[in-house]
A = this chain, B = another copy of it.
Amino acid sequence: MKISAKAEYAVRAAIELAAAGNGRAVSAERIATSQGIPLNFLEHILSELRIAGMVRSQRGTDGGYRLAREPQEITIADIIRAVEGPLATVRGGKPEEAEYPGVASQLPRVWIAVRQNLRNVVEHVTIADVASARLPDSINVLADDPEAWVTR
């Protein structure tokens, strides 16, 4: 699995907004500089997040972006889906639609299991969790396993 720059930028921007609170809007430029993200690209991403209903925007002086929902209601999965579409695809299609001849007939079940375990992480971590540095227990169990940190 590849986490693209775009998805990563989107998540970081969302975290930044979560940390800022909903008091006032944060400009794209502020997010760009504080997270080290190319401004033009970030604007494009924020636009997609807005269309997907993840953020609201406000133009003019003191304008910027703010979250459309409470940060504890927005998961990493929501953000990734907003900018990249489905979390997991097999050759561009849905895993459950893949069909295989003969001996590979059980393969879709493996892809489904992959997607499910992926969801088990990204659908259970909210951007508020990350911003407050308090991840759910189920995530900590995974991340605290020393095995998880070795390079394969």
How many of chain A's residues have a CB under 8 angstroms from any CB in B? Answer: 67
Dominant SS among interface residues on chain A: helix
B87→A109 contact, CB < 8 A: no
A118→B1 contact, CB < 8 A: yes
One digit per residue, 1 when the CB lies within 8 angstroms of any chain B CB and 0 when it does not, for chain A 90-107 equals 111011101011111111
Q: How far is the CA of A4 from the CA of B88 in the complex (A)?
A: 11
- Tallying the copies of this chain within the complex gives 2
Which of A89, A100, A116, A125 has the largest count of B CB atoms less than 10 A from its CB? Answer: A116
Residues of B within 8 Å of A121, CB to CB, are 110, 113-114, 117
Across the interface, A143 reaches (CB within 8 A) one of B76, B116, B147, namely B116
Residues of B within 8 Å of A104, CB to CB, are 11-12, 15-16, 35, 130-131
A105-B91 in contact given A76-B110, A122-B114, A139-B113 (Cβ < 8 Å): no
Q: How far is the CA of A86 from the CA of B133 in the complex (A)?
A: 27
